Structure 1
Amino acid sequence: MSLPSIILLIGSLLFIAVWTTKLSSRFNIPALLIFISLGMIAGSDVTGFIRFDDAELAQLFGTIALIVILFEGGLQTVWKDVKQELAPSLSLATFGVFIATTVVAVASHYILGFNWPNSFLLGAIVGSTDAAAIFSVLSGQSVRRKVGSTLEVESGTNDPMAVFLTVLFLEFVTNPQEASLLSGLFSLTWEMMIGLLLGLAIGWIASAVINRIDLSSSSFYPILLMSFGFLSFGIASAFSASGFLAVYVTAIYISNHELVYRQTLVRFTMSMAHLAQIGMFIVLGLLVFPKQLLDPQVILSSIALALILIFVARPLSVWLSLWPFKYSWREKVFISFAGLKGAVPIILATYPLVAGIDNASMIFNIVFFTVLLSTLIQGSLLSILADRLYLNETGSSTIQTVIEFMSIGKPNAEIIELTIPRHHPFIGKMISDIQLPQEFLITAIIRDDQIVTPRGDTVFEGNDQLLLLTPKHRIKTLKRFLFPKTS
């Protein structure tokens, strides 16, 4: 296929993918299912437009896309909303993944006749929830905050556990003499701890750099922000730590600290994450050969494993992992059913392909078919289940700031966003009382998801978000005025 034809095809696929999202919302079909289908249709077995069978390249592309998706998910995470659900989420992301892996491994051993290393390898690949799928589905839901936060943090932090288990059991398959559970546990502890610490450190550095650097054009700030996501993954991987965990933690740290151009930067990463999702699922769809999925053994085995995963492995892992925590049975039922699978299991299924082990193609096809069934069943019925369990919250949706102030060239003024903490000395005072220099202008106040028009008699309250118009060269002066002790 010629270069112009390839570019035309890429543009067509992206255009179709965006427009089919309307079908997704209208018929309650998960968008990622549509994206994967587009890739399968464009692939070798159907139209033959794109002949693609490079598992290693698909793995690389999928990893890059996941970095973008996890980074965007971290930027959307509000720490004060999720910190109370951190312990149960981590329990699900570690203990829960191991339980689900074990249940699927036992089922694979007796249904497929795999040996135990291959069975546990398959269980590890499909044992975790998928951040891309969870973020995508929950973005259109008004589900109870406690439940939504638990699912988001779980999906954002369980990738390290899934990758660790996959690599560990792949080692047992390819090199059983040197594989060791003890060394594996040490490796997991190292990956999690160092990934967390590096994520926090890089997040701190990123916040300081983004807020203090004076770039010639504000259009460079989104690129600078995204660079820290890739740096976080790369540096963590260089230390044999979890790159995915580091990316997620870095983004959470940045999001929950002062950040200039916050809304513009968040919108940029949202667009990048959507593009990454579309591209990733199309590429993974290209890697699949639909004719192989029609193998009766693949179909029957996948259906059996998907049903066991949805109705046995996931509920068991949720109820045992959340047993010490205060969750109602309705919340546990919803969290159990919300264990969506997506890109992560498919990307992990490329590991056996790259390693060239026996049954690698069969494992990949079974994982792919299982993911499709999980997405179709769970993703389609999730909103209905939330209604039936009375877990949807009405009137609690957050109003996002709608001001975009992304200047071109060298701007002489900027709109920045600052949050007034509850202990700030301005709390209880009127705007006219603080003697704000005339060169600075409070353009709006976001309070309790409402926009408050600032006037002289407007009284500051805790956690007010201030949008201030300021000369660019005076941003530091403004910060010193508002936060004299921390500047």
Structure 2
Amino acid sequence: MLADLIFAGGGDIVHHEGSVLPFKIALIGALGIGAQWLAWKLQRPAIVLMAISGLIFGPLVGYILGLPLPTFLHDGLENFRLNPQVDFGDVYRPMIGIAVAIILFEGGLNLKFKDLGDAKQAVIRMVILAGPIAWGLGTLAAHYILGLEWDLAAMVGGLFIVTGPTVIMPLLRQAHLQSKPANVLKWEGIVNDPLGALFAVVVFEFIRITMMEASMAMVFGKIAFAAILGTGVGIISGIGMAWAFRRGVIPEYLKAPVVLAWVLVIYVLANTLADETGLLAVTALGMTMANTKFASMVEMRRFKENIAIILVSGVFVMLTATLTPAILKAFVSDWGVAAFVLAMMFVVRPVAVMLSTLWSGLSWKESLLISLIAPRGIVAVAVAGLFAAEMTALGRDDGAIFVPLAFALVFATVLFAGFFIGPLARMLGLDSGDGDGVLIVGANPWSLGLAKALKEMHIKVTVADTNWRRLRGARLEGHETFYGEVLSENADYSLDHSGFNILIAATPNEAYNSLVCVEFAPELGRHRVFQVGAREGDEDGGEGIAFTSRGRTLTSRGRSFDALTRDWWGGWRFRTTNLSPEYTLEDLYKDRGDDLDLILARKPDGTLEFIQPGQEFRAAGASVLSFCPAKDTDGARGEGAKRGSGLAGPAAPLPA
């Protein structure tokens, strides 16, 4: 019944008068990008908001149109109703196919194997063992719970092993997991994203070829040929593109457009050589380019951040809008769907993960957490939409169940992971702690001195910079380092967000410091992002950048970057002092001078408090980190230290 309802939603293309169809195209774009922006603003998974927007302008408006309405209201609402299968007609299927191809290329472009780190063995097991196990168990669940035929059940089981990296990344930043389980979840999502789609491709090819009444030898021979051909086309084309970039055959300003055009060419070419091998080819293309050394990976990421986001947003809204009120009603009333979703979440996934990670170096707690956190993402829904259209075109109307089933699994897994990843991590002791990690953006003598002082206080420090040479001092001190732009999407995958809860922007560029703080404030909280002051005594911006568009001012006196640097070369150094009833903060000022800067205090309970300009601070028993003039060897403050404020010439530098 459900499949019949879904299939009935299709139809021939409707020729709209005037600008109705262009208006709907613009509406799809506005809804998709608007949902992405709102998700960023609210720090919620974008996939849920995009699905909700599609449901509102698709099934909900369709339901309202079925009510007795005045003619003018009915006609007005009709313009806002999205029914992509009717609106786009014969163009709908190739549109979804091209969008899925670009999404899978984007997934392959993230597969840089050298970045797997200590999670390499576990990730390999998750792909080689957990993937096929989950595929088999998911097939059984789809057949016996949903009553699907074995071939369609195999497609469902293969497709839904994927976990979406675009959903997992925000969850990992919220939960602050320890590095090993965080890396396994992150890289499993990246690797399995295209893998699940390829499992579904294999089964689809099996169904398509067997419907031609070919022998089993012919079926498996064609599938093997298609897999080899698609992979070969992707690898060869990827090597060729990397060679062209290295040789300068393509100018810089054309690289991103050429990549987009090349992905489309390879997708169509592979499909022409052998049906439905295009998805495999573009995935192999992305993987090859990701692991081939050339100097234009930044352009590839720019392509991914712009084109892929637009396509993902549009596809998601369109797929949700294809549902109808009748489909949703039948779907909600079908208890088999709920049983299938629960089985996938709490039986199939845990069994596959626990079996595959035995003797992999993961503890049972890490394996349990990984097994319960498996949010499905955009690829699952996009590929489900593609194959739903392909199966109905082959006359298999029951294949139309893919789209609503994908949405049910996406909603359930995203909501469960969003609400429970934090409590689960704390219950299992796998969170990285609260307030015990600091990310310092900007490697310079002053910030490296701060990093060393924090390390001596047993606070984990990560130093980030875009210049490899400037990070040399941090590497020599044994700090964690991140070489790259912290504002790029690459940082979402390569920077360990679980290692810090506090950010300090300490570059010479005030505007850049503010931008970094604004970017990380929704993730960490505005009370945990700090930047060096713009000028002497600057309290949350002064006459410079508004305090709402910057981080909190670092140090109690709010010195600027230039002043802090002059003080550093004037002999000032960082000092940790344990306060007590016998040695108070007033004693520290008397000992080191009233112009010292207080940075932070570690309270007896282990929490960190950064001291702001004008803040009254009294904390007996706390360890205080200050930036102050150094003493002479006889215990008195020397003239050089007195001049260390940067208002006079520098004193002779003292060793750190």
Q: What is the TM-score with the length of structure 2 in the denominator?
A: 0.54
Matched, 1:129 2:162: yes
Matched, 1:369 2:403: no
Give 1:328's match in structure 2, choosing from 363, 382, 390: 363
1:311 aligns with 2:380: no
1:35: how far off?
A: 1.5
Give the superposition deviation at 1:278: 0.1
1:206-225 equivalences under 5 Å are 206-215=241-250, 218-225=252-259
Aligned to 1:162, the other structure's residue is in SS state helix
**Aligned residue identity for 1:151:** G
The reply on whether 1:165 has 2:196 as its aligned counterpart is no
1:151 counterpart SS class: helix
Q: Identity across aligned pairs (percent)? A: 18
- Aligned partner of 1:292 among 316, 327, 332: 327
CA distances 1:435-482 after superposition (whole Å, capped 9, x unpaired): xxxxxxxxxxxx974244969x99999x99799xxxxxxxxxxxxxxx
Query: Which residue is equivalent to 2:137?
Result: 103
* Contact 2:155–2:200, Cα closer than 8 Å, also in 1: no
Residue of structure 2 in register with 1:73 after alignment = 107
Deviations, residues 215-240 of structure 1 (Å, cap 9, x unaligned): 5x632111112233334434444454
Q: Which residue of 2 aligns with 1:233?
A: 267
Task: Structure 2: give runs of 5+ residues left out of the alignment.
Answer: 1-15, 64-76, 443-461, 486-656
Evaluate the alpha carbon distance shift between residue 145 and residue 327 of structure 1 in structure 2; reply closer, same or farther with a 3 A threshold. Answer: same
**Does the 8 A contact of 2:234 with 2:281 survive in 1?**
yes
Quick check: 1:331–1:391 contact (8 Å CA) kept in 2?
A: no
SS of 1:339's equivalent? Answer: coil
The CA deviation string for residues 382-436 of structure 1, in whole angstroms up to 9 with x for no partner, is 4664565525698698979xxxxxxxxxxxxxxxxxxxxxxxxxxxxxxxxxxxx
The verdict on how the C-alpha distance between 1:183 and 1:3 changes in structure 2, with shifts beyond 3 A counting, is same
1:210–1:225 Cα contact (<8 Å) kept: no
Are the equivalent residues in 1 in contact too, given 2:143–2:153 (CA < 8 A)?
yes
Whichever residue aligns with residue 307 of structure 2, its letter is M
How big is the shift at 1:301? 1.9
Offset, 1:327: 2.7
Distance change (3 Å), C-alpha of 1:466 and 1:357: closer
Q: Which residue of 2 aligns with 1:41?
A: 56
Asked if 1:244 corresponds to 2:279, the answer is: yes
Q: Which residue of 2 aligns with 1:253?
A: 288
Q: Write out per-residue CA displacement over residues 74-122 of structure 1, whole angstroms, 9 at most, x where no aligned residue.
A: 3344331138766754654465444334333333443344444454444
Alpha-carbon distance in 1 for matches of 2:139, 2:240? 42
1:61 is matched with 95
Please tell me whether the aligned partners of residues 196 and 249 of structure 1 are also in contact (alpha carbons under 8 angstroms).
yes
Counterpart secondary structure, 1:327: coil
Partner of 1:15: 30
Would you say the 8 A contact 1:75–1:252 is kept in 2?
Answer: yes
Q: What SS does structure 2 have at the residue aligned with 1:141?
A: helix
CA contact (8 A) 2:345 2:413 kept: yes
Distance of aligned partners of 1:453 and 1:293 in 2 relative to their CA distance in 1, 3 Å threshold: closer
Tell me what 2:189 maps to.
151
Matched, 1:31 2:46: yes
CA apart distance, 1:284: 0.7
What is the aligned counterpart of 1:52 among 84, 96, 111? 84
Q: Which amino acid aligns with 1:145?
A: N
CA contact (8 A) 1:97 1:127 kept: no
Shift of 1:129: 0.7
CA distance in 1, matches of 2:284, 2:198: 12
More deviation, 97-106/277-286: 97-106
C-alpha displacement of 1:194: 4.2
State the SS of the aligned residue for 1:356.
coil
Return the alpha-carbon distance in structure 1 between the equivalents of residues 316 and 388 of structure 2.
14
- Does the aligned pair in 2 maintain the 1:160–1:192 contact within 8 Å? no
Q: Any stretches of 5+ residues in structure 1 without a counterpart?
A: 401-446, 468-487
Task: Indicate how the Cα distance of structure 1 residues 41 and 261 shifts in structure 2: closer, same or farther if over 3 A, else same.
Answer: same
Distance 1:290 1:296 in 2: 10
Question: Between Structure 1 and Structure 2, whose CA radius of gyration is higher?
Answer: 2
Note the alpha carbon deviations across 1:259-293, whole angstroms, 9 max, x for none: 34543442232111111110110111122113212
Which residue pairs with 1:138 in the alignment? Answer: 169
Amino acid corresponding to residue 374 of structure 1 in structure 2? T
Q: Summarize the Cα distance change of 1:57–1:328 in structure 2 as closer, same or farther, 3 Å threshold.
A: farther
Counterpart check, 1:355 vs 2:394: yes
CA contact (8 A) 1:151 1:335 kept: no
In the aligned structure 2, how far is the partner of 1:178 from the partner of 1:160? 22
- Structure 1 CA distance, aligned partners of 2:420 and 2:220? 37
Question: Per the alignment, in what secondary structure is the counterpart of residue 233 of structure 1?
Answer: helix
Amino acid at match of 1:161: F
Which whole-Å CA distance do the structure 2 matches of 1:87 and 1:10 have between them? 45
CA–CA distance in structure 1, aligned partners of residues 440 and 166 of structure 2: 16
Q: State whether structure 2 residue 223 is matched by structure 1 residue 201.
A: no
**Equivalence for 2:71:** none
Higher relative contact order (CA 8 A, sep 6+): 1
For 2:172, what is the secondary structure of its paired residue? coil
Corresponding residue number in structure 2 for 1:444: none
Deviations 1:152-192 (A, max 9, x none): 112233321222124425666x46x5463x65555555444
CA drift at 1:65: 1.8
Contact 1:349–1:364 at 8 Å: present in 2 too? Answer: yes
Are 1:266 and 2:301 matched, yes or no?
Answer: yes
Letter in 2 for 1:52: P
Distance in structure 1 (CA, Å) of the matches to 2:118 and 2:17: 54
Q: Indicate the SS of the match to 1:278.
A: helix
SS in 2 for 1:105: helix
Offset at residue 212 of structure 1 (A)? 2.0
Change (3 A) 1:157 1:105: closer
Distance 1:187 1:88 in 2: 33
TM-score (norm 1): 0.70
- How many equivalent pairs are there? 412
Question: Distance between the aligned counterparts of 2:223 and 2:128, measured in 1?
Answer: 10
After superposition, the Cα gap between the structure-2 partners of 1:150 and 1:225, relative to the gap in structure 1 and judged at 3 Å, is same
Q: Please say if 1:450 is aligned against 2:465.
A: yes
Question: Could you tell which deviates more after superposition, 21-30 or 195-204?
Answer: 21-30
8 Å CA contact retained: 1:105, 1:120: yes
Aligned to 2:622: none
Q: Partner amino acid for 1:205?
A: G
Question: Which letter does structure 2 place at the counterpart of 1:349?
Answer: A
Counterpart Cα distance in 2 of 1:85 and 1:194: 31
Amino acid at match of 2:386: I
Contact 1:97 1:162 in 2 (8 A): no
